[in-house]
Structure formats: structure tokens, C-alpha cells
């Protein structure tokens, strides 16, 4: 299967340049592998506002209702500079499909940056997004925003990959559709993937396509794109995957022998109990797709949402 290349924003210290506060670089295996499959815009907000490499470390603290960034040795406050840069940078990058940022960073951390009290002596119970990340989630609230640490979790990584490659395909559709058939084919290909994230919106999108003449082609595509982003802003989980797998099983179960049905149902039960990887179940399902030459199922993005080498 061919994959559209996602365009992501990537922290520059992740395998690209030694720009960390200590002059180091983060050697992260997954980020390095991902670079072969995506186009990226690199960013280091701290360096991009003129901070040196190496540099004194900065931290976040809460003053009244605002989170601010300060270098505690000199007491220099970088809040306005970081926020101004973030606004300008995010307004300049055009369409992107997601963000992969540096864990625990005062500028780029995702939900895991230490947050200090106003006196800088004690931590506040709970952690924060970095200042740059705060602006990212405000402007691109519908896109996946993760750091390299969170992607050690299987389900978070799988969601992130599914979303950035799905959004890349959506971006290609939005920029190249010629007629309603392009939208119909895209929707058919993503039926089970949309079922995974938002079954309600799946029905809404089907109704939109069925009544596209009421809106015209361009407006229908625009509405569809918005619904697609809203749908995939949800999280997947084991039970949601289980629901989709059971629907796919129902699509061809009458063609299976009794022993094949029993074996597949046992595999599904093991997956439900956390004793079998999702990929193992999907690979077994694919064997029947090839056997029955089922082009409809074979085209489903749910079964091949991203290059398998990445998981």
C-alpha cells in the first residue's frame, strides 16, 4: 500500500541537532525511524528566540493564573518571547498533520513538564504543557500532539501514527479532489477507521455524501474534512478496536469453515483479555481477505493505517 507522507512539526533536539540546554541531542529510535516516512519542520523555541547552546536551564512556574518561564539563576523571564515566537511560528507553517515534541521540556513538554510554585522552591501538584505546546494545542486542537516519551505506550503510539497518516491522506484529498467520486472512494476506504473513532460521525458523513448536491461539491468536501478531524480527535482503545474487528468478522464469517470461525473467535477473545497483540489478529484477518479476494476489505485504511515497520 502507498502512503501519503505526513507533515509534522518535530523538536529539533530529537535526532536532528544538538540544541538541548546541555548541548546534547536526544537519540530516540522511534523518532529516527519516523524521519524516513514523514516530512518535518524542526523547531527549538528556546534556541529560536536566541538562547545559547549550552544554556542555563529554565523552568515553569505559576503566577496567579498564568504559567511563566524563567531562568532561576539570573531571574530572566522568557515568557513573552516564547509566546510571541510560538504564535509567529505556528502561523507560518501552513498545513501540518501532527506534532512530535520533546518530553518534559519547559517549552515543548506534553502534559509532563514540572510546574513550580511562584517562589520557585516547591512543585505544584500536577504537571503542565510547555509554553510552546500550550500554543500548539490552542491553535491545532484537532491534531495529535505527543512527545517521544509518551510514544513508548503502544496505544498512544498507534493512535499517533494512525492519525498523522490519515490526516496526510485527508490533506491530499482536500488539495486534489476532482469530483464527488474522489470523496466517495476516500470515505469507503476509511469506513472502519472512522467507526473506530466515532461511529456517530461516520453516519453523519455518510448522510453528507448521500446529500452532497444540497451543498455543492466544495462545501460538502469542506464539511467532510471538518467532521473527519473531529472524529479522529477522539482516542481509540481496546474495546473500540474489538467492536471494529467484530464488524469485520461479520463481513466474511459465513465464508469460513467452523474450525476457522472458532479459531478466529478464540483469537478475538485473547485480544480482549490482553493476551494477544492487535497486529496478530489483523494479520489473520488479512489472510482471509487475500483468500476471498475481498477488495472492499482489502482497501480499508483500518487494516493498514500506516507503514507496519513503524509499530
Summarised one tens digit per residue, pLDDT across range 107-137 is: 999 999 999 999 998 898 778 999 999 999 9
Other CB atoms within 10 A of residue 263 CB? 13
| pTM for this prediction | 0.95
What digits encode the pLDDT tens for the residues 96-106? Answer: 999 999 999 99
The pLDDT, as a whole number, for residue 1 is 63
* CB contact set of 194 (below 8 Å; sequence gap of 6+): 201, 202, 205, 228, 231
Whether residue 209 has pLDDT greater than 90: yes
* CB contact set of 263 (below 8 Å; sequence gap of 6+): none
DSSP state of 217: H
Angle at 298 between CA 294 and CA 300, to 5 degrees: 130
Give the helix ranges, DSSP H, for the chain.
29-34, 45-48, 79-92, 131-139, 154-176, 180-189, 191-197, 199-210, 217-232, 238-252, 258-272, 278-292, 295-298
CA distance 8 to 160: 11
Q: What is the mean pLDDT of the chain?
A: 95
CA distance 122 to 293: 63
- Determine the 3-state secondary structure of 115 from DSSP: strand
Which is nearest to 249 in space by CA: 294, 203, 204?
Answer: 294
Task: Enumerate the β-bridge partners of residue 128.
Answer: 113
The pLDDT, as a whole number, for residue 183 is 98
Amino acid at each position: 500500500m502507498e502512503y501519503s507522507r505526513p507533515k509534522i512539526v518535530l523538536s529539533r533536539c530529537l535526532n536532528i541537532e544538538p540544541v538541548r540546554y546541555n548541548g546534547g541531542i536526544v537519540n530516540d529510535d522511534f523518532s529516527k525511524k519516523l524521519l524516513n516516512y514523514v516530512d518535518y519542520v524542526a523547531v527549538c523555541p528556546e534556541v529560536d528566540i536566541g538562547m545559547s547552546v549550552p544554556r542555563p536551564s529554565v523552568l515553569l512556574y505559576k503566577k496567579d493564573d498564568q504559567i511563566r518561564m524563567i531562568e532561576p539563576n539570573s531571574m530572566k523571564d522568557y515568557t513573552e518571547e516564547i509566546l510571541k515566537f510560538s504564535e509567529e511560528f505556528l502561523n507560518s507553517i501552513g498545513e501540518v498533520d501532527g506534532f512530535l515534541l520533546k518530553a518534559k521540556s519547559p517549552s515543548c513538554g506534553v502534559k509532563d513538564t514540572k510546574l513550580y510554585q511562584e517562589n520557585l522552591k516547591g512543585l505544584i501538584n500536577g504537571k503542565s504543557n510547555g509554553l510552546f505546546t500550550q500554543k500548539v494545542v490552542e491553535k491545532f486542537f484537532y491534531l495529535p500532539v505527543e512527545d517521544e516519551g509518551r510514544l513508548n505506550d503502544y496505544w498512544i503510539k498507534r493512535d499517533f501514527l494512525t492519525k498523522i497518516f490519515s490526516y496526510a491522506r485527508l490533506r491530499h484529498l482536500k488539495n486534489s479532489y476532482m469530483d464527488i467520486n474522489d470523496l466517495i472512494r476516500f470515505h469507503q476506504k476509511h469506513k472502519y477507521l472512522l467507526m473506530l473513532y466515532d461511529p456517530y460521525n461516520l453516519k453523519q458523513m455518510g448522510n453528507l455524501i448521500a446529500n452532497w448536491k444540497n451543498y455543492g461539491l466544495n462545501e460538502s468536501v469542506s464539511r467532510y474534512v471538518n467532521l473527519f478531524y473531529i472524529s479522529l480527535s477522539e482516542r481509540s482503545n481496546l474495546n473500540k478496536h474489538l467492536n471494529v474487528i467484530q464488524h469485520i468478522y461479520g463481513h466474511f464469517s459465513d465464508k469460513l469453515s467452523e474450525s476457522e470461525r472458532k479459531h478466529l473467535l478464540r483469537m478475538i477473545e485473547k485480544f480482549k483479555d490482553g493476551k494477544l497483540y492487535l497486529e496478530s489478529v489483523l494479520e489473520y484477518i488479512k489472510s482471509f481477505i487475500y483468500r476471498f479476494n475481498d477488495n472492499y476489505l482489502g482497501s480499508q485504511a483500518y487494516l493498514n493505517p500506516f507503514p507496519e515497520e513503524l509499530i
